[in-house]
Amino acid sequence: MVEHTGWFDRVATALLIVGTIAVCLPILLALVVVSMPDGQELQAVYFIPGGHFLENMARAWTREDLGRQIVNSLVMAAGITVGKIAICIISAFALVYFQFRYRQIIFWMIFATLMLPIEVRIVPTYEVASNALLPAQQIATFLGFDLNLQWSLLNSYWGLTLPLIASATATFLYRQFFLSVPEELCEAARIDGAGPLTFFFYILLPMSLTTTAALSVILFIYGWNQYLWPLLITTDSSMSTVVVGVAQQIAVDEADPKWNMVMAAAIIATLPPVLVVLLLQRWFVKGLVDAEK
Amino acid sequence: MQKRALFSGSALPYLLVLPQLAVLLVFFFWPAGQAVFQSMTISDPFGFRVIFVGLDNFKSLLSGKEYWSSVRVTTMFTLCATFLSLAGGFFMAVFADRAIRGQRALKLLLIWPYAVAPAVAGILWLFLFHPMFGSIALFLKAIGVPWNPSLNGTHAFVLVTLAAAWKQFSYNFVFFLAGLQAIPKSLIEAAAIDGAGPATRMVKIVFPLLSPTTFFLVVMNFVFMFFETFGIIHAVTQGGPGNSTNILVYKVFRDGFIGQDLGSSSAQSVLLMIIVMVLTVFQFRYVERKVVYA
């Protein structure tokens, strides 16, 4: 039996409490700041609430285009989550369960995109986003055709989601999972006369539900918290996301920002992903830890 | 290891991989190729003329002071924030693993920062350290530190490092806690019976068993600090004061979109890609090794 007595446990508990308070300190202060009446944010340093919390939250909510930006963030996060899962699960299915020419090449092409975030190729990706048919057009021009193709993704939901879907992490997660599914299952299904699509929809998809749930939580947070990309491709503030909107409130250099409003907006912007993490904690932890394997 | 392929459709597998390949081609391979191409050209700001210059962009980057100063800042920032975040996550996980009561509530209180966007995390910390309003800033002033991150580069650096470490803390905490709880209790008990105290057990058993997790986390933290901290920098310091927080990914953005120097920005993108690829190769080497010994 491991000893569980004495000063060591007490020190550990004390440090744990101190550490937890330290981790929560920024949000505590933010909550206090929100409760301060206008112009008295300075008083928040003593961590004594000012009693205007709900009122200020309501004001922040109606001020600016917060509602509109929340909708944009939701569409973007949901679009990235659903889009990524949909295209990744079918390509992982093809890679694991089919024998076809170029399988190895395709596998390595997808593999190569792993871990290269959009931040490293922003300028050219921005050019493609301003005309998604640019590659096709340039190839056509190269081949001697004179085409004028134009499909701008700027200030659109396509632009907010599609470029961020282009990465392979989810494909790998599903591939790992499919490889762990016993082959006998597929053989049995085939003997019973199931084709590949029947097997996929009736057996593999239901089996992947926990993996999908875990992955959804991670991808939703990833999508919601995007910053650089929405900042670049949304010039129209009605297409902006809430995280970008909050940051822009303090970027106004001339006037000192209204801190109680900024913090209220920051809390509103943070609430959806935090709720997702807290309410779906089990899936969230599974999603994180699964990605390691 | 590849699974024995079980279906042999003719067109179906291609149709299944098509959506992913299409998205990757348009939004990944094309831009990446463009980055490589543009890194070897210079163009006037309106993009009318493009001149091929070979490796000149790289040469002028690597021979200039500014790039190396950004490399230095990025290295310091990445190392400091990763160390803080890993150490914090590890110790809190050790304590939480030992705690008998309230473990669930504690976990909730410690994992929520993961859900905060980096830009918002930066704003929260900026307020805490705001020279006029911030509690910590006022405390520092009271003990005689003239705190002002908008004028003092070191102060700004400390601020963004803390915000980044805080943001990544939860991730490390979750992994370390999962790792600790996966260590068989019998191992720890056997060591305890053999007379190993808590410190000895930590060094001789827990550290080695957690080393794969730690290695994985170091790589993931590096990637996070390199790229996803963009939001913190952009929202809080904009790379300043005086380039003291101008990390590489911010510099790519600033030179490309504000400075309109596409050639140099693309060359920087290419260098960043190479850095991440090296990290990825590292990572997968390690994963393979883990599979062999597991």
Whether residue A117 and residue B228 make contact (CB cut-off 8 A), yes or no, is: yes
CA angle A79, A222, A63 (to 5 degrees): 80
A4 pLDDT band, cuts 50/70/90, is low
Question: Does residue B114 carry a pLDDT above 60?
Answer: yes
A76 pLDDT band, cuts 50/70/90, is very high
Task: Tell me, yes or no, whether A239 lies in a domain.
Answer: yes
Give B223's contacts in chain A (Cβ within 8 Å): 115, 117
Q: Could you tell me the two tokens for A13?
A: 């508990």
Q: Which residue of B has its CA nearest to A218?
A: B115
Whether residue B21 and residue A183 make contact (CB cut-off 8 A), yes or no, is: no
Task: Tell me, yes or no, whether A1 lies in a domain.
Answer: no
CA distance B269 to chain A (A): 5
The reported pLDDT for the residue numbered A75 is 95
Tell me the average pLDDT across A216-245.
90
Q: Looking at the complex, does the CB of residue B91 fall below 8 Å from at least one CB of chain A?
A: yes
Whether residue A98 and residue B127 make contact (CB cut-off 8 A), yes or no, is: no
Which residues form the domain of A71?
Answer: 6-289
Global model pTM greater than 0.80: yes
What are the beta bridge partners of residue B121? none
The domain segmentation of chain B, as residue ranges, is: 66-290
ipTM for the complex shown = 0.87
CA distance A59 to chain B (A): 19
**pLDDT tens-digit readout, A209-222:** 988 988 899 899 99
Whether residue B31 and residue A8 make contact (CB cut-off 8 A), yes or no, is: no
The reported pLDDT for the residue numbered B81 is 96
B1 pLDDT band, cuts 50/70/90, is very low
Domains in chain A, number: 1
What are the beta bridge partners of residue B50? B43
Secondary structure (H, E, C), chain B: CCCCCCECCCCHHHHHHHHHHHHHHHHHHHHHHHHHHHCCEEECCCCCCEEECCCHHHHHHHHCHHHHHHHHHHHHHHHHHHHHHHHHHHHHHHHHHHCCCCHHHHHHHHHHHHHCCHHHHHHHHHHHCCCCCCHHHHHHHHCCCCCCCCCCHHHHHHHHHHHHHHHHHHHHHHHHHHHHHHCCHHHHHHHHHCCCCHHHHHHHHHHHHHHHHHHHHHHHHHHHHHHHCHHHHHHHCCCCCCCCCCCHHHHHHHHHHHCCCHHHHHHHHHHHHHHHHHHHHHHHHHHHHHHHHC
**pLDDT tens-digit readout, A257-275:** 788 888 898 999 999 999 9
**pLDDT tens-digit readout, B245-263:** 999 999 999 988 887 788 8
Higher pLDDT, residue B50 or B41: B41
Give B259's contacts in chain A (Cβ within 8 Å): none
Q: Which CATH architecture has domain B66-290?
A: Orthogonal Bundle (1.10)
Report residue A37: phi and psi, to 5°: -70, 160
The reported pLDDT for the residue numbered B142 is 87
Q: Which of 16-75 (B) contact A at CB < 8 A?
A: 16-17, 19-21, 23-35, 38
The reported pLDDT for the residue numbered B231 is 92
Question: Does residue A253 carry a pLDDT above 60?
Answer: no
Tell me the average pLDDT across B57-84.
92
Residue type, B88: G
Q: Is A226 exposed, middle or buried (0-12, 13-18, 19+ CB in 10 A)?
A: buried
Question: Does residue B289 carry a pLDDT above 70?
Answer: no
CA distance A88 to chain B (A): 7
Question: Does residue A293 carry a pLDDT above 60?
Answer: no
Q: Which CATH number goes with the domain that contains A208?
A: 1.10.3720.10
Whether residue B119 and residue A243 make contact (CB cut-off 8 A), yes or no, is: yes
Question: Does residue B293 carry a pLDDT above 50?
Answer: no
Tell me the average pLDDT across A1-27.
80
**pLDDT tens-digit readout, A83-102:** 999 999 999 999 998 888 88
**pLDDT tens-digit readout, B117-142:** 999 999 999 988 888 878 888 888 88
Task: Tell me, yes or no, whether A73 lies in a domain.
Answer: yes
